[in-house]
Amino acid sequence: MKVLIIEDDALHRSYLNEAVRSALPECDAVTESENGRLGEVEARKLRAEFVVMDLQMNERNGIEAARTIWRERPDTKILFWSNYSDEAYVRGVSRIVPEGATYGYVLKSTSEERLKLALRSVFLESQCVIDREVRGIQQKGMGSGHGLSDAEYEILVDVALGLTDKTIASRKKLSLRTVQNRLQQLYEKLEVYQEDGDDESRYNLRTRAVAVALMRRVLNASAVERAERDLQDDAGY
């Protein structure tokens, strides 16, 4: 059994190395990479089946690295170990997990024992392990009437990219009316409104929606950067 650790903090890499060796006596080799880009290379070279990785890293973040690893080997088991439970990260991970894949998402604040349990559960027992706080974000952000639906979230990201309603409709193959309706739903859920009775609105609603989403951590820079790369790669745009 070989495990690949992808983490940009040297102390955290050392901690993970010890945790892996302690939790998994079956492991006979641990390889370390200091960022997502190098991690992709190592995963490809090793044909890695078991990966522990951070989410926020220089060079290439964990979501991008995991997407590449899963695209090349969908059966790879990945345990995300992160400081962040922001909705943007939770959505980012949820959107790239292949159907039927085994993965975990635990926070760095979790105890060493719970981390070891997660390693064994994901890698040996093929059980998905999601931190309680992260699970709460999933339910609040994606499973309730007050959270953004996936369709509304996609509209939010397109607005953050600066796309017009017409361009969004064209890219998503939607009617202009549908895009505008989703925008209105987005504004309501983010509590962004025109002020009644004002001849000149205090806010540009699109810009305000992006600002509120960033402050609430529904959106982050990594999500926008990923969307920008997808936009540039979109041959139909």
Position 196 scores a pLDDT of 58
- 70/181 same-domain check: no
Q: How many domains does the chain have?
A: 2
- For position 136, which CATH number holds? 3.40.50.2300
Under 8 Å between Cβ of 176 and 166: yes
CA distance 67 to 59: 15
Statement to judge: residues 13 and 120 lie in one domain: yes
pTM (predicted TM-score): 0.76
Q: pLDDT at position 139, please?
A: 67
- Residue 164: the pLDDT is 94
- The domain of 164 spans 150-235
State the Cα–Cα distance between residues 17 and 127, nearest whole angstrom.
21
* pLDDT computed for residue 140 by the predictor: 62
Same domain, residue pair 193 and 111:
no
3-state secondary structure of 108: coil
Instruction: Kindly give the residue spans of alpha helices, DSSP state H, lying in 36-131.
Output: 36-46, 62-72, 87-96, 112-123
Judgement on whether residues 130 and 154 belong to the same structural domain of the protein:
no
- Give CA–CA dist 76/40, Å, rounded: 12
- The tens-digit pLDDT sequence of the chain (237 residues) is 999 999 999 999 999 999 999 999 999 999 999 999 999 999 999 999 999 999 999 888 999 999 999 999 999 999 999 998 888 888 889 889 999 999 999 999 999 999 999 999 999 999 999 998 888 766 665 555 567 888 888 899 999 999 999 999 998 899 999 999 999 989 988 888 766 555 556 788 999 999 999 988 888 888 888 888 888 877 554
Do residues 187 and 234 lie in contact, with contact meaning Cβ atoms separated by under 8 Å?
no
Per-residue pLDDT, 141: 55
What proportions of the chain, in percent to the nearest 5, are helix, strand and coil? 55, 10, 35
Phi then psi for 196, rounded to 5 degrees? -60, 135
- The alpha carbon of 122 is separated from its chain's Cα centroid by a whole number of angstroms, namely 18
Contact status, residue 117 vs residue 142, Cβ threshold 8 Å: no
If asked whether residues 69 and 125 sit together in one domain, one would say: yes
Taking Cα atoms as reference points, which of 76, 14, 26 lies closest to residue 51?
Answer: 76
Say what the pLDDT of residue 234 is: 74
Displacement of CA 48 from its chain's centroid (Å) = 21
CB 36 within 8 A of CB 60: yes
